[in-house]
Amino acid sequence: MKIENKFLIPFTGLKNGEHKFEFQVDNSFFESYDYRDFNSINATITVLLNKKTTLLELNLKSEGIANVPCDVTNLDFDLPITNTLDLVVKFGEEYNDDHDELLIIPFTEHQINIGQYVYEMLVLSIPQKRVHPGVLDGTLESEALDILGYSNDDDLDEFLEELDDEFDDQEDLDEDNNEEIDPRWAELKKLLTDK
């Protein structure tokens, strides 16, 4: 992926200690991943790399604005997004990214590509439920709110509580689905964790 090449951090020529890198993210980055959950995005990624003799510690911080549609009114609004991610990079025989916060790269590597981590960090910084700030504080005049019958603050508060309950119910359902594991598989999972 050509876009990801701009997220390469060469570390072989760097001295031990802290180093700072900045990257800009816009729509073209997410188009390369075919991700279209928002209208536009403009974010700055700040990476603090602490190079040590045997490993690299990266702290990624994102700040920016994503333009998203409101779940209640379908009106677009600018949503501030921030997130952080800590990543430890160790050296080993072969590449391994099985863990969320640990990356193992071959001894022969001289640069690290953080594109996938930037993508995941930004996607996870956008909330599942997106409500226009004007809906929350009652200042938004919208035809959609009138059609739905939420003309006063009490009705709107009740609607937002119902919306919260729907999301909570969905999350509970997702958790219940994850908890129902065949006992045979549970025994096999124990073998993995007993090492």
Give residue-wise pLDDT tens across range 81-93. Answer: 999 999 999 999 8
Same domain, 139 and 122: no
User: How do strand 40-51 and strand 17-25 relate by DSSP bridges?
Assistant: antiparallel
Asked if 81 and 62 touch (Cβ cutoff 8 Å), the reply is yes
Can you give the length of the chain in residues?
Answer: 195
Residue 42 or 71, more confident: 42
Answer yes or no: do 152 and 118 share one domain.
no
Instruction: Please tell me the predicted confidence (pLDDT) of residue 133.
Output: 82
Same domain, 119 and 148: no
Last residue of a domain, one of 128, 147, 176: 128
Last residue of a domain, one of 128, 145, 168: 128
pLDDT at 67: 95
Which residue matches tokens 């001295």? 15
Range of the domain at 169: 134-193
pLDDT tens digits, residue range 105-163?
998 999 999 999 999 999 999 988 888 887 777 666 666 666 666 655 555 666 667 76
Sequence-distant (≥ 6) Cβ neighbours of residue 16 within 8 angstroms: 51, 52, 53
Q: Residue 25's Cα: distance from chain center in Å?
A: 13
105 lies in the same domain as 140: no
Same domain, 80 and 175: no
| Calpha distance 14→113 (Å, rounded) | 16
Secondary structure (3-state) at 13: coil
Based on the fold, state whether residues 105 and 16 are members of the same structural domain. Answer: yes
Q: Are residues 106 and 172 in the same domain?
A: no
Residues 6 or more apart whose Cβ sits within 8 Å of residue 121 = 45, 60, 62, 83, 84, 85
70-98 burial by CB neighbour count: b if 16+ within 10 A, else e?
bebbeeebebebebebebebeeeeeeeee
Domain check: are 116 and 184 in the same one? no
107 and 160 in a single domain? The answer is no
Longest Cα pair distance anywhere in the chain, in angstroms?
Answer: 64
Domain end point (choices 100, 128, 156): 128
Regarding whether 97 and 30 lie in a shared domain, the answer is yes
The answer to whether 2 touches 32, Cβ cutoff 8 Å, is yes
- Confidence grade of residue 195 (pLDDT, cut at 50, 70, 90): low
Q: Same domain, yes or no, for 123 and 182?
A: no
In angstroms, rounded to a whole number, what is the distance separating the alpha carbons of residues 100 and 86?
A: 9
Measured CA angle at 128 (ends 178, 149), to 5 deg: 120
122 and 138 share a domain?
A: no
| Number of domains forming the structure of the chain | 2
pLDDT digits (tens, 9 = 90+) for 151-187: 555 556 666 677 667 666 655 555 555 566 777 777 7
